[in-house]
Amino acid sequence: MNILEKYPKLKNNVIFKNASEENIRKFITEDKLDVRHFSAGDDICSPEQKEIPVSIIIDGTATVSSADCGRNVLLKTVSAGAIFGIATLYSAEAPFPTIVKAKTTCSVLFINAAAVRALIENDRAATVGFMEFLSNRIVYLNKKINSFTAGCAERRLSLFLADNESDGIYSADVSISALADMLDIARASLYRAFDKLEAEGFIEKQDKIIIIKDKQAMLEKYFR
């Protein structure tokens, strides 16, 4: 049994899903794997760690934050299948750029970084998948930069909701004041942005639950 059969969430990842099973069995062996369990609030990955293995959430949810200048800024909430440690696979100097913290009880699969590099370097499909992953990250980060430097409140909020929804639902785990600080907008502007997105039919507010009714249309309007 290879890791794709044992850990089916890996099939959602561009690096592993098209790699040959022969190469996966050859390079990603049991001794290169480690499953760890985390309670809510535990750090999964952080800049203090000297070496970050490739880390994949098997179950549960986690938050991804950027700790910069003493501020812990929430970037997104992720669930099973999310992967970390890919962008730093070939970076000898840069520390892990974010804090990944368990939001609920989590199980995480850690894969030895050298083993993943060996797979990428010896399997063409894995190489292409790695390039696709990095390209998508560049696009994502460019959107983040645009939304925080030149975006209106609706643009910033729509991107945040799109990044943090799970199955079309965003469950608010921070206050309006905290969210306004994260998005670097005034509270009044944030309230108006929520009202506008709801009036346009993109979202529906139910207390602390936000239903994202049409994520694609929302992003197309504010990021076209």
The pLDDT tens digits for 80-133 are 888 888 888 887 666 677 889 998 999 999 999 999 999 999 999 999 999 999
Does the pLDDT at position 69 exceed 60? no
Pick one of 2.60.120.10, 2.70.150.10, 2.30.30.90, 3.30.1660.40 as the CATH number of 3-144.
Answer: 2.60.120.10
Q: Residue 150 — pLDDT band, cuts 50, 70, 90?
A: low
The more confidently predicted of residues 178 and 44 is 44
pLDDT at site 1: 67
Q: Phi and psi at residue 188, in whole multiples of 5°?
A: -60, -40
* Range 55-63 average pLDDT: 91
pLDDT in tens, 185-220: 889 999 999 999 999 999 999 888 899 999 989 988
Per-residue tokens: 217: 């249309």
Would you mind telling me the total number of residues written for the chain in this entry? Answer: 224
Measured N-to-C along each axis, helices 187-199 and 176-183 cross at an angle, to the nearest 10 degrees, of: 90
Q: Which amino acid is at 121?
A: E
Backbone angles phi, psi at 99, to 5 degrees: -110, 120
Residue 138 scores a pLDDT above 80? yes
> In this structure, are residues 145 and 94 in contact, taking their beta carbons and an 8 Å threshold?
no
User: What does the pLDDT read at residue 155?
Assistant: 87
pLDDT at position 70 is 54
Determine how many CB atoms are found less than 10 A away from the CB of residue 129: 21
| Percentage of the chain modeled with pLDDT above 90 | 38
**Alpha-carbon span 187 to 18, nearest angstrom:** 45
**Which of 148, 69, 62, 134 minimizes the C-alpha distance to 99?**
62
**Nearest-angstrom CA–CA distance, 131 and 120:** 10
How confident is the model at residue 71, as a pLDDT? 57
Question: Is the fold of 3-144 the same as that of 152-223?
Answer: no
What CATH architecture does domain 152-223 belong to?
Orthogonal Bundle (1.10)
From CA 165, how far away is CA 115, in angstroms rounded?
Answer: 32
Determine how many CB atoms are found less than 10 A away from the CB of residue 80: 17
At 147 the pLDDT is 64
pLDDT on residue 156: 86
Cα angle vertex 119, ends 8, 46, to 5°?
A: 70
DSSP the chain: --HHHH-GGGGGSTTTTTS-HHHHHHHS-GGGEEEEEE-TT-EEE-TT-SS--EEEEEES-EEEEEEETTEEEEEEEE-TT-EESSTTTT-SSPPP-SEEEESSSEEEEEE-HHHHHHHHHH-HHHHHHHHHHHHHHHHHHHHHHHHHHT--HHHHHHHHHHHH-BTTEEE--S-HHHHHHHHTS-HHHHHHHHHHHHHTTSEEEETTEEEES-HHHHHHHHH-
Domain limits, the chain: 3-144, 152-223
